[in-house]
Structure 1
Amino acid sequence: MEQLSTGKKINQPSDDPVVAMRGVDYRSELSKVEQFERNMSEVRTWMDSSDEAMDEAGQSLMRVRELVTQASNDSYEENQRENMASEVEQIKDHLIELANTKVNNKHIFNGTHTDTPRFDNNGNLSGESNNKAINIEVSDGVELRANVDPSNAFSENMIQGLENIVTDLRDNNTTGDDLDGYLSDIDQYSQNIVDERADLGARMNRAELIETRLSQQEITTKDVMSSNEDADMSEVITNLRMQENVHRAALSAGSRIIQPTLMDFLR
């Protein structure tokens, strides 16, 4: 009746020590797999956020290149170049915001110093900044880098380069040839982001494979644990019916054995 009400083969270790010990091992394995899945979820969040931020950064740099290319045409008037300078300045501020992206209250582009932003509001690199990898264990003996190299994605040179473009756009003495010189720098900033996204993409593919394997491990472990602990309800019900029949037969036989006779009354 305990097995029928709980659905378990055992309800305390003394019922079957072997099954109980196996259950402890299976639960420990399941707990470990579930922790790896939580770690994997954290890694995926970092990766997805990093990829989105770098995608925006790449598009922003493309716009800067368009503006610089237009401005290199000396036919533009002073107020037009001022408008371009203002737009580039806004893009620079946007790139600083992207570099200071936070996920779960952690800055993902500042190496291991996740409690501080990469840049201050003026675009100066934080004194607490570094480019170290953040490795998270996602399986037994397997660690996966969650962050990207911020020196490639959001370098100090890139922010300073954009600031120089803004300054030169506002300088009437700047020629088109001077602005042309920035194009190769912008292309290099963009290429660095592309390279970093490619490396991140390879790790995201591996993360997907690991997620699939962890999901399968969880299913397998739960199945094995269920097989070890869960009672076969049809068998339990059959056994219960059998015991009830035996009990009723015993009661019936006992009642017949002790039936009163005429001698019982004569006494």
Structure 2
Amino acid sequence: MRVTQAMLSSNMLRNLSTSYNKMGKLQNQIETGKKVNRPSDDPVVAMKGIGYRTALEKVEQFQRNIGEVNNWLDSSDDAFDKVGSALQRANELAVKAASETTTVDDRQKVLSELDQLRQHIQNIANTKVGDKYIFSGTKTTTALFDEKSGGYPTTNIDAFNKDVEIEVFDGITLKVNTNAIDVFKNIDQMFADIKEGNVNYSEAIGKIDEQMNEILTTRADIGARQNRVELMNDRLQSQEVIATKQMSENEDVDMEKAITEMITQESIHRAALSVGARIIQPSLVDFLR
């Protein structure tokens, strides 16, 4: 086969262009720190990167969900802590009123304070996280205690007892609300019985103790769920580290290797330019020198 000057020149220019492209790609990798800057650089790496990034985004969303779960549980626990404190004060007042040395005027003052404690607990029943009532089951836009009617729901009770669940992992949901309508209704009825004289103060002490035990049971359930949330959060943090590492190993460039390849490619490119200058056919001016 006859090799012409045009063929030599064409091959030289094509090889120089390829060399420029390789240096350009290496330069982009060094500047961005990434193996691929467009899918065409390496489709396999690009597709894996999409998968790893999707997994990481899901973990981050679940972590945000965990934060919402903590808001509900912490608010519920704090609310029942306040209810427990109110019942403790009610117990002290009942013990005082049950004493034979307590006057009629003193008992009236006790009734007045018990009424304030009752209203305080009614307000706690309407605790909100953001714009949602946390003790109203799935009817999160409806207050558990209706201040206008002065009572708790008597219809559609099932909706107020339904669980509110939030997804915290693939296929795993956690109950975030506390079905407390019966707890609050029983406490309110107890205060009503004391006010109306349906129970004497000695009996009231036992009734209050029963409600305090119910509050402790409710808080124990909340605490158990809080512990599980901590375990799920630890698991999500581990998944975040794993997903981030996988994405980094897939996409991040080995900087030392890339710089070494860049230096090598520059040397090859200079050699190609030097050889190419000798291949190009001399011009008429070169012959006249």
Does 2:163 correspond to 1:151? no
Secondary structure of the 2:247 match is helix
SS in 1 for 2:200: helix
For residue 83 of structure 1, what is the aligned residue in structure 2? 109
**Which residue among 104, 108, 118 is the counterpart of 2:130?**
104
Q: Percent identity?
A: 46
- CA deviations on 1:18-59 (whole Å, 9 max, x unpaired) are 111111111111111111111111111111111111111111
Distance 2:269 2:99 in 1: 103
Q: Name the amino acid aligned to 2:187.
A: M
Between Structure 1 and Structure 2, how many residues are aligned? 259
Q: Equivalent residues in 2 for 1:1-267 (5 A)?
A: 1-121=27-147, 123-126=150-153, 127=155, 130-151=160-181, 154-168=183-197, 178-255=200-277, 264-266=286-288
**Aligned AA for 1:205?**
N
C-alpha RMSD over aligned residues? 2.2
Matched with 1:171 is none
Hey, what's the Cα distance between the residues in 1 that align with 2:284 and 2:74? Answer: 93
Structure 2 counterpart SS, 1:9: coil
Structure 2 regions of 5+ residues with no counterpart? Answer: 1-26
- TM-score normalized by the length of structure 1: 0.89
Structure with higher Rg: it is 2
SS at the partner of 1:144? strand
Deviations 1:86-136 (A, max 9, x none): 211111111111111000111111111111111022640135651111121
Give the distance between the partners of 1:10 and 1:24, measured in 2 at CA.
12
Structure 1 outlier segments of 4+, above 6 Å: 259-263
Look up the equivalent residue of 1:165 and give its one-letter code. I
- Cα distance 1:55–1:263, how it changes in 2: closer, same or farther (>3 A)? closer
Once residues 106 and 262 of structure 1 are traced to their aligned partners in structure 2, the CA distance between those partners, rounded to angstroms, is 89
Secondary structure at the residue paired with 2:174?
A: strand
Bigger relative contact order (CA 8 A; separation at least 6): 2
CA distance in 1, matches of 2:41, 2:284: 49
Query: 242-251 vs 213-222, which deviates more?
Result: 242-251
SS at match of 2:167: strand
